[in-house]
């Protein structure tokens, strides 16, 4: 699963933001069960220079996307997840998650620019 996560990974904000994704086709192509993605956002955040890492997954229902986020100080992952998902998220300051009732593509198209704004201080 890690190879698929790295293959799908994208960065912005000079590498301070990284995100990746997986869907049912990703799992089928590597013969992996969904629980193998458990630490994908943590693995991405461990890359040098990353301050916010997000992992998006959509398995089964194409209109439900889940996001796992990890952050370093001063960014609060729980606060970001709650705000971006209109209350359908939360967790801890460094590790949190959220659920969106949108497709994987639409969720990433919404969340990534918002995280870029946060990292730019907007």
Per-residue pLDDT of the chain (122 residues; tens, 9 = 90+): 567 778 889 999 999 999 999 888 887 777 766 666 567 888 888 999 999 999 999 988 899 999 999 999 999 999 999 999 999 999 999 999 999 999 999 999 999 999 999 999 98
Residue span of the structural domain in which 59 resides: 2-120
In Å, how far are 4, 70, 72, 85, 96 from 78, measured between CA atoms? 26, 9, 12, 11, 5
Helix (H) or strand (E) holding 41: helix 40-45
Residue 25: the pLDDT is 83
Q: Bridge partners of 21?
A: 56
CA angle 72/107/93 to nearest 5° reads 20
Residue 100's nearest CA partner among 71, 61, 74 is: 61
The number of folded domains in the chain is 1
Q: Cα separation of 6 and 118, whole Å? A: 23
Predicted TM-score (pTM) of this structure: 0.91
pLDDT at res. 37: 59
Question: Length of the chain in residues, anyone?
Answer: 122
**CATH code for the domain of 49:** 3.10.310.30
């Amino acid at each position: 699963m890690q190879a698929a996560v790295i293959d799908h990974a994208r960065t912005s904000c000079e590498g301070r933001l990284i995100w990746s994704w997986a869907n049912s086709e990703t799992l089928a192509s590597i013969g992996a069960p969904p629980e193998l993605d458990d630490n994908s956002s943590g693995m991405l955040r461990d890359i040098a220079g990353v301050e916010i890492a997000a992992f998006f997954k959509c398995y089964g229902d194409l209109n439900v996307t889940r996001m796992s986020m990890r952050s370093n100080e001063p960014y609060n992952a729980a606060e970001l997840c709650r705000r971006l998902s209109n209350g359908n998220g939360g967790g801890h300051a460094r590790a949190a998650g959220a659920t969106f009732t949108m497709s994987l593509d639409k969720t990433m198209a919404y969340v990534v620019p918002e995280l870029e704004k946060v990292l730019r201080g907007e």
